[in-house]
Amino acid sequence: MTVAAVYSKRRRQDTLPLRPGLASELKTHLANKPPAASAFNVPYKETLSNAYKSDIKAAEIAYRDDEDLVADFHSLRHTFITNLARSGVHPKAA
């Protein structure tokens, strides 16, 4: 998958490798969408944030713990990467 510089975090064109199965599913998903259409209907940030807070409350996970650490949506990314590193995954592969 190629990401144009205007959409890339680093503001340069990036090429991201995709597994064949995912590439096939994306091709099917995007087949009937106009070229300028969004690939996915992502909820507004506030809607997603409220849903996440509701989910962690239902799971009885404190949003802010005794050490003032926050279990926000972004922390999931950090936890995922930490778990990859602890499992021995090379940073370049991660």
How sure is the predictor about 93, in pLDDT bands with cuts at 50, 70 and 90?
A: confident
**pLDDT tens by residue, 10-66:** 889 999 899 999 999 999 999 999 988 988 888 787 888 888 889 999 999 998 989
How much is the pTM?
Answer: 0.49
How sure is the predictor about 92, in pLDDT bands with cuts at 50, 70 and 90?
A: confident
3-state helix, strand, coil in the chain (%, to 5): 45, 5, 50
Distance between CA atoms of residues 8 and 37, nearest Å: 18
Q: Which residue has the tokens 């990036």?
A: 14
Bridge partners of residue 70, in order along the sequence: 64
